[in-house]
Structure formats: structure tokens, C-alpha cells
Amino acid sequence: QKEVEQNSGPLSVPEGAIASLNCTYSDRGSQSFFWYRQYSGKSPELIMFIYSNGDKEDGRFTAQLNKASQYVSLLIRDSQPSDSATYLCAVTSSGNTPLVFGKGTRLSVIA
């Protein structure tokens, strides 16, 4: 049973701070890692993906992957109230195979 674990939160951070969201996964064969953002009442949307160990930056977002520790994280710099949402970690073993989603971490950015 492939599992993806996330702290459900809520994670509260002040505006302008760095939000750190964490995810662990059980399948050592996992190759692709995704972060989806889901606003309340809306559908998930992709914000970042990462395949290789290390960091990947895209604007205010940085994804970090450590395959040895089976750990992936998402950092949001200069957090804004508009970042308040649930962040879903998703993992897949190979291209075009089903994603396994974590239950998500709810982030609240306080103005």
C-alpha cells in the first residue's frame, strides 16, 4: 500500500514569513513528486513538480526532495494571504501512472 503522509495542520504563518510544508512517502520506487494547491471549494491545481534530489525553485516556491529519506517539502517565501489553501503532496512511480495523494496540509497566512 503506497502511502503519502502530510501533517493536516492548520499551519499558520504571518504574512511575509516562510511557510514550510512537509510530506513523506512509503514507496521507495517513487520517481515523480508534485505539489497541488486547493482553495476551499475548488479543484486541485498543480504548482510544482520535482524529480531529482535537491531543490527546485519557481518564483516564491521551492520544492525540496530527499529520496534517501523519502521526504519532499514545499517552501513558500514571502507568504501572502492569497496562499491560504490546502496543499496536497502527490507521488507517482512513473510517467502517466496514477498519483497517490496525501490528505493535504491546510495553510493559513495571517495578514
Partner 1 sequence: DAGVIQSPRHEVTEMGQEVTLRCKPISGHDYLFWYRQTMMRGLELLIYFNNNVPIDDSGMPEDRFSAKMPNASFSTLKIQPSEPRDSAVYFCASTPYGRVDHNEQFFGPGTRLTVL
- List residues binding partner 1 (CB under 8 A): 32, 34, 42-46, 49, 51, 88, 92, 94-104
Cα 38 from Cα 99, distance rounded (Å):
16
CB-wise, 79 or 102, nearer to partner 1? 102
For β-strands 105-110 and 85-92, DSSP reports them as antiparallel
Least distance (Å) between residue 89 CB and partner 1: 11
CB-wise, 71 or 101, nearer to partner 1? 101
Cα 84 from Cα 110, distance rounded (Å):
9
CB-wise, 82 or 94, nearer to partner 1? 94
Least distance (Å) between residue 95 CB and partner 1: 4
Least distance (Å) between residue 14 CB and partner 1: 27
The alpha-carbon radius of gyration of the chain (Å, integer) is 13
Cα 3 from Cα 91, distance rounded (Å):
9
Least distance (Å) between residue 15 CB and partner 1: 27
Cell numbers for 10: 492548520
